[in-house]
Amino acid sequence: MNVLWVLAHPEQQSLNGSLFDEGLRALNEAGDAYLVSDLYAMKWKATVDRGDFTDEPDERLIVTAASRRAHLDGTLSADIRAEQEKLDWADAVVLQFPLWWYGMPAILKGWFDRVFVKGFAYGVTDGDSGRSLRYGEGRLAGKRALVVVTAGSPEAALGLRGINGQLDHVLFPLLHGTLWYAGMSVLPPVAVYGADRVTQQQYESATARLRDRVTSIRGTEPIPFRYQNGGEYDDALVLRPELAAGSTGLEVHYAAERRHGSRRSRNEVQASSR
Amino acid sequence: MNVLWVLAHPEQQSLNGSLFDEGLRALNEAGDAYLVSDLYAMKWKATVDRGDFTDEPDERLIVTAASRRAHLDGTLSADIRAEQEKLDWADAVVLQFPLWWYGMPAILKGWFDRVFVKGFAYGVTDGDSGRSLRYGEGRLAGKRALVVVTAGSPEAALGLRGINGQLDHVLFPLLHGTLWYAGMSVLPPVAVYGADRVTQQQYESATARLRDRVTSIRGTEPIPFRYQNGGEYDDALVLRPELAAGSTGLEVHYAAERRHGSRRSRNEVQASSR
């Protein structure tokens, strides 16, 4: 398997730096090929601007249109094209970062803002139906994505009723709104909690989990997000009323087989077991 | 009222540019003072790195510790200190951005990563109790925050059961995990949907709403997020079982008076009306 490992941490001598080394070692021992995008080491430019579109006329900049044009013409800046080539090569992508303000560090958000342009990661339509291919379909479909995140928060405070919000809901914009939107199969994240005060024993447990997860990317069941074009959403892209009937909240966008889904409706379970 | 308006859009000739102009005009007409942080115009540096901490020894960088030290010593880089001074001056902050990948553009995420350092926006403890002041308390408590966001998505797809996730849950890391975490009173966001194809009529309706909202910042009821130290969370920062009993999901972190909260329990409504 070909793995692209994207790291967003400023300090090599850190918990993230050590986990990164361990993860790559595990891939190596398993015989997987990998490429690395160590965004800080690359001095990755975080901000989308006119410079990303090298052949864009000096007029009003419309980012989506300019990025699509530049992608089609091959005139995206070289750093963006290099990342896209790595993604095309990869069967799986690992995204590793510390949780800052309950999201990605800006340098990694900017990797998505700049690399996931229209025509590459979204904005692709099915030739026959004319439907937009997204949320489970698209040019990146078939690839797997694994988020590896460290959090200062203890686990309970990022749990189902923890004050910080449950981790997979806090990460919904990345897991669902970005990776799944682009068509990728998204695996449950690997999280290391209490990251500012990890004991040796906790560290060893975390690396064992990480090694296990990165060497079983192919065999891990993805998060069962619903497909946009699978008949579960209506033409306005609203979930059909008979699914997760009467419920709201991000959990409705997970299919019924999700294990700890407290909002799973009886009807759905019956329907899916038919 | 003193307002700091933070804008994150690369093109002045855009819907965001026009909304920004209208918003400032409305503040001006209302007699409010304002300062502007036009992040693209300022060429704001998005990425936290060693350069933010001008007096940091050339050793292993621990971002939280380094940022706290530099904040206390006055050795944060000048661009960060300038933003902090604007925040200290402001009674209210407007954060305006296009929704990119269901979050802030990297340049704005980096504004929070770099400006909201330990000791300034979090990591403050109560002298008597020793408790961390966050989620409704802290050094920035008393200030109001208003998010103004444009989204390509139509409204229904960002609604309660829309495929993209309901907007305030998608923005939870910003509204709750950042602004409320830092102690600020967070107002319901102003959203302009279908932003890639706004008609003249829709534009006029959007600017009217925006003018109304920015001139009523003081009188608008904030989102009723729960306080960390209000007795609703236990010592592990998990919501007490009698509140939103049996429920999970981000909605449990809104107090019972939230109007469209479908997970509002009868007990809570009774308790809050006593």
Nearest CA in chain A to B101: A178
The answer, yes or no, to whether residue B262 has pLDDT greater than 70, is no
Q: Domain limits of chain B? A: 2-223
> Per-residue pLDDT tens for A143-186?
999 999 999 999 999 999 999 999 999 999 999 999 999 999 99
Q: Which residue spans within B74-177 are E strands per DSSP?
A: 92-98, 144-150
ipTM value greater than 0.85: yes
The answer, yes or no, to whether residue A221 has pLDDT greater than 50, is yes
C-alpha to C-alpha distances, B162 to A267, A269, B129, B254, nearest whole angstrom: 20, 21, 43, 20
Q: How confident is the model at residue B259 (pLDDT cuts 50, 70, 90)?
A: very low
What does the mean pLDDT of chain B come to? Answer: 93
> Per-residue pLDDT tens for A7-17?
999 999 999 99
Q: What percent of chain A has pLDDT over 70?
A: 93
Nearest CA in chain B to A179: B101
The answer, yes or no, to whether residue B265 has pLDDT greater than 50, is no
Chain B residues lying within 8 Å of A106, measured CB to CB: 46-48, 106-107, 109-110, 113
A172 and B102 in contact by Cβ < 8 A? yes
> Per-residue pLDDT tens for A197-209?
999 999 999 999 9
Residue B258: predicted pLDDT:
67
Find out whether B150 and B16 touch, Cβ atoms under 8 Å. yes
Residue A260: predicted pLDDT:
46
* 8-state DSSP, B209: H
Q: How far apart are CA A178 and CA A221, in angstroms?
A: 19
A237 and B164 in contact by Cβ < 8 A? yes
The class (CATH top level) of A2-223 is alpha beta
Chain B residues lying within 8 Å of A238, measured CB to CB: 156-157, 159, 161-163
Measured between CB atoms, which of A160, A196, A248 is closest to B248?
A160
B109 and A106 in contact by Cβ < 8 A? yes
Q: What is the mean predicted confidence (pLDDT) over B170-190?
A: 98
Q: Of A118, A100, A121, which is closest to residue A16 (Cα–Cα)?
A: A100
Residue A257: predicted pLDDT:
67
Q: What is the mean predicted confidence (pLDDT) over B78-95?
A: 98
CA distance A186 to chain B (A): 16
Q: How far apart are CA A78 and CA A83, in angstroms?
A: 9
Mutation test of the interface with chain B: which of A239, A248, A252, A259, choosing the one with the most B Cβ atoms within 10 A? Answer: A248
Chain A residues lying within 8 Å of B195, measured CB to CB: none
Q: How confident is the model at residue A258 (pLDDT cuts 50, 70, 90)?
A: low
The neighbour count for residue B50, using CB atoms within 10 Å, is 14
Residue B266: predicted pLDDT:
38
Residue A56: predicted pLDDT:
82
Nearest CA in chain B to A157: B237
What does the mean pLDDT of chain A come to? Answer: 93
Residue B273: predicted pLDDT:
36
More confident residue, B130 or A218: A218
B248 and A172 in contact by Cβ < 8 A? no
The answer, yes or no, to whether residue B59 has pLDDT greater than 90, is no
